[in-house]
Amino acid sequence: MLHRGGSMRAESPVDGISLVCPVCRGVGPDGVFRAAPLGPAGAGLGCPACGAAFPVVDGVPIVLRDTDAWLRDELPTVLAREGLPAEVEARLLRGGGPVARSRARRAAYRASGDGPFQDAARAALAGLSGRVLELGCGTGWHGVPGFLGVDLDWILLGDYPGRRLLADALEPPLPGAAFDAVVALNLLDSCRDPALLLQQMDALLAPGGVLVLASPFAWDAAITPPAAWLDAASVQDFLASRGYSGRVSEHDWVLRHGPRTRTHLATWLCVAQR
C-alpha cells in the first residue's frame, strides 16, 4: 500500500480532539449548531446521530460529506501500491487516471527543492506550538512533524510527516476553536470557495491563535469560479474585520514539473494572530 501505518487513533486525531460528522454537522431547524462526535464502527468510524459510516485505512480516517462520491473517483489511489517493476507501473499509468495525476503532483513537489518561499514558510511554521492544523497539507514538503494534516489527495497525504486525515478543508470534520494554529499553504487559490476557506480557518482557531496563509493567487477558472477570486487586499480586509494583526511578505516559489518545465510564482505569505 502507499500509506504507512498511522499512529492517529480514529476517534482522537490530536490531543483528545474528536472528529465530528460532516454529514449532519451544521445549524438545525431550531437555529442551534450541532456537531456529533464520531465513534468506532465496523468500517472505522460512525456517526451515532445520523448513522453515516467512514472508513479508516492504514490509520487514516476518510471523513467526507459524500464519501461514496469521492471513492468513485479516487478509489484507485487508495488501493494502489508501491514496489511494482518500473516498466509494469509505467504501462499501468500510461492511460492517466487519478493515480498518475497524484504521482505527477508528488514528483513535482519532490523535485522543486528549496527556495525563498520554502525558507520563509518553514521559518513561520517553526514558531508555531500547541495543536496545529494544516489544511490542504499535500506531502508536507516542509517536513515539520507534529501537525494534523488534512487533504483530499490520498497519495500526497501518504508522504505527510504528521498525523493525517482525508477530509475537505471547506467542510472539516473538526470542532470549532480547537486549534492553536491553522495553516493553509497554497490552498486558497486551489479550492472552490476561498472565502469559505477563510471562514473555516477562523472558526477552527482558538482565541489568541495564529493563522499562516500563503498563496500566489494563481487562479484557475476550472477550480474556482472567477466571481469567487480574491486578492491579497481582500484577504487582509477579512482578517482585519475578525480582529487579526500580523505581517505579510512575498517570496519566489519555483515549481519544477520536469527537467525543462518550471513555474515561477510570486507567493504571498501572511502570519496573523487574533
The CA distance from 211 to 213, in Å, is 6
Please say whether the beta carbons of 128 and 181 come within 8 A: yes
The CA distance from 268 to 262, in Å, is 19
* 270: enclosing H helix or E strand: strand 261-273
Q: What is the reported pLDDT for 12? A: 57
Q: With cut-offs at 50, 70 and 90, classify the pLDDT of residue 194.
A: very high
Question: Which amino acid would we find at residue 195?
Answer: A
- Phi, psi dihedrals of residue 232, rounded to the nearest 5°: -60, -40
Q: With cut-offs at 50, 70 and 90, classify the pLDDT of residue 144.
A: very high
To the nearest 10°, report the CA torsion of 198, 179, 15, 135. Answer: 20
Average pLDDT over residues 93-110: 89
End-to-end Cα spacing for the chain: 41
Q: What is the reported pLDDT for 27? A: 74
Average pLDDT over residues 111-136: 92
Q: With cut-offs at 50, 70 and 90, classify the pLDDT of residue 130.
A: very high
Q: What is the reported pLDDT for 112? A: 74
Please say whether the beta carbons of 53 and 43 come within 8 A: yes
Q: What is the reported pLDDT for 82? A: 80
62: DSSP letter = B
Reply yes or no on whether the pLDDT at 128 is more than 50: yes
pTM of the model: 0.91
Q: What is the reported pLDDT for 13? A: 62
Give all domains of the chain, ordered by start, each with its CATH number.
26-273 (3.40.50.150)
Q: What is the reported pLDDT for 255? A: 73
* 253: enclosing H helix or E strand: strand 245-258
Reply yes or no on whether the pLDDT at 124 is more than 60: yes
Reply yes or no on whether the pLDDT at 257 is more than 70: no
Average pLDDT over residues 23-30: 81
Reply yes or no on whether the pLDDT at 24 is more than 80: yes
Reply yes or no on whether the pLDDT at 11 is more than 50: no
